[in-house]
Structure 1
């Protein structure tokens, strides 16, 4: 009986691990296909999304866009690209807003809304799930988990 219990526990752990990895999104940072930026580093992207700079390395304006605050994609992006958790990010933005130094990125509902925005404002930058990439956007960074 102990062996059967061990097998059941192992099987359950494997299933939970598979479902957790399936829930994780494959995040990519994108700009409009019309944008001249070809690629960015994680530090450059972090600087844009954390309000440290409002410009691409070329000097062009960069307008960051966020996914909804409760999305797994957003949590994955900020963890992978900035090293900040959701609570750390809230505290970070509270301080910047209070001191008047910066405003957080504009939040849009989903990848479709982000892609529409990117079409109308090529200077915008966002992150979406890799599966949502199409010809209207250009991947400039695939952050490492």
Structure 2
């Protein structure tokens, strides 16, 4: 898969670990920033990654901030994005299977690197089930 990743300054420490892990799994990754730990605003990076995913340039995205909440809210403002913030693998898996999420977010102040890897792996390996869930996605898109 071709994946976009972004963070704010708080998520910067965890981001290289996730990039390396994604590459180990055989994925192509583009880092949308930031590249320094200078204080920055998460909406900028949530928007950049979300726009790239919504445009179809990437198969999905991963966003990291302190909690994952703010950056996921920012991403969800972009039409066509279904970003989910997860702190455990089960919700990540079901978010893809039932909600066809295209961006995964988590918080570097909430989870550690090994749990983050488990969450990413479950999300990447899951597939949208369609069926009864497809109609619900259409309903979400109409909101």
Same fold (TM over 0.5): no
Kindly indicate whether structure 1 or structure 2 has the higher relative contact order, using CA contacts under 8 Å at least 6 residues apart.
1
TM-score with structure 2 length normalisation? 0.32
Q: Which has the larger radius of gyration?
A: 1
